[in-house]
Structure 1
Amino acid sequence: MKTRHCTTAAVSALAALLVGCSGKAEGWNYAIPKKICGVNMQESVVKPLLPPGDTLDEQIRAAIGEDQDVSERCLLKVDKGKSGDGKYLWINLDRETQKVDAVAEAHRLRYGNSESVHLAGSVTSAAVGDTGALVAMRCKPKTAKSAPYAYLMAEVRMGDYADKPKDPEARHDHLQAFLRDYIPATEAARCKQ
């Protein structure tokens, strides 16, 4: 009887080890970056927005036909090339000449269950939804290239895995935590004080 329990335990342990080595276990097998889209971030607010996977690639570029100081696109892509487009997190920054209502824009862009949230600093309006967040803030650019602009829009959009969150309330909370870290750092980096 004792031998049978030991054999069963050994077989179970070996099976668990083989499953762990097969690559089938879901987890974050890539390092969560300390800098996201050029901004220092806390891992605890970034990780909940990134899907599990093996690799993470970051691409930062200006929008087509725009100067990077006017419009910036940052894409964090997990497991690029493994499943079609992979899974991603977009962060877009766009300069605006006039104040924009982020809540109305979030509804128009169909963020899903979008709601207004309060953020401190120069934020004029902000909204979070099931698939992303949108923030409008007063922001005079630090460079002369974008002198006519007085506002900055920050958009955070989630990719393939985020279309229907299992827990929308938790998703909204994670987005707000991310924004509370990302927006002040972005403001400090891109706006005149």
Structure 2
Amino acid sequence: MGFEEVRRATLGALLSAVLVASLSGCGGAADYTVPEEICGRKIDPGLVRPLLPEGEEFEAEKRSIGDDTMRCLLFVDRRRELTIREYPDGGEVDAMKFAVENPGRFRNPKKVSFGADTVVSDGMVLSVNPCTYQGEKGHYILDIYVERFDVSEPDGWREELERFAEAYLPVGMEETGCRE
């Protein structure tokens, strides 16, 4: 085999390897699809997706915590990435006071304009809203947490969290049977 034949064979092998690698690695973030309904809640997948990393597989798992409390866990490649907790019969809590008293969970908390009493911090949302649940007056509490929060992320996903929580809040309240 001469030099030219070796060069062609090597070039052919390299092109084949590049083609296989590019086909197998296609998509990155598009490898999984976020459904329009997660844990029994219809929500725009475009609001959920920015809070999740790239990966191959998406899974949502709904778990009950006690009689009336629901927890929705979102996994990418079997790693928990986002936790949503709903308490339809929660007590009255001052969201900002709670955030300030729990600095390990709430970094840079800020009150926002949706919900009755909502705080968004780096990687977390807490929203407390008066409601009537099963004939009793109480408070619906929505707690959302980005599991992979990274302090090097400049804004802690605040805008994405705020958009997602604002859209999720009325859906969660309605689905739990919590009325204003």
Partner of 1:156: 144
1:119 aligns with 2:107: no
**Alignment partner of 1:110: what SS?**
coil
1:139 aligns with 2:127: no
**Alignment partner of 1:151: what SS?**
strand
1:166 Cα deviation from its structure 2 partner: 4.3
| Distance in 2 of aligned mates of 1:134 and 1:150 | 16
Mark the CA change 1:13 to 1:61 in structure 2 (over 3 Å): closer, same or farther.
Answer: same
Partner of 2:39: 37
1:170 Cα deviation from its structure 2 partner: 6.2
Q: Larger Cα Rg: Structure 1 or Structure 2?
A: 2
TM-score by length of 1: 0.74
1:103·1:114 contact (CA, 8 Å) conserved in 2? Answer: no
Partner of 2:19: 17
Q: Which one has a larger percent strand, Structure 1 or Structure 2?
A: 2
Between the two proteins, what is the percent identity of the paired residues? Answer: 23
Mark the CA change 1:97 to 1:134 in structure 2 (over 3 Å): closer, same or farther.
Answer: closer
**Alignment partner of 2:155: what SS?**
helix
1:97·1:149 contact (CA, 8 Å) conserved in 2? Answer: no
| Distance in 2 of aligned mates of 1:112 and 1:24 | 37
Q: How many residues align?
A: 171
| Distance in 2 of aligned mates of 1:167 and 1:97 | 31
Can you give the 5+ residue segments of structure 1 that lack an aligned partner in the other structure? 1-8, 81-85
Can you give the 5+ residue segments of structure 2 that lack an aligned partner in the other structure? 1-10
1:106·1:133 contact (CA, 8 Å) conserved in 2? Answer: no
Written as runs of structure 1 = structure 2, the 5 A alignment for 1:32-71 is 32-63=34-65, 66-67=66-67, 70-71=68-69
1:128 Cα deviation from its structure 2 partner: 1.5
**Alignment partner of 2:157: what SS?**
helix
2:95·2:128 contact (CA, 8 Å) conserved in 1? Answer: yes
Partner of 1:184: 170
Most deviating of 40-49 and 88-97? 88-97
RMSD: 3.0
1:23 Cα deviation from its structure 2 partner: 4.1
Most deviating of 41-50 and 18-27? 18-27
| Distance in 1 of aligned mates of 2:47 and 2:140 | 22
TM-score by length of 2: 0.78
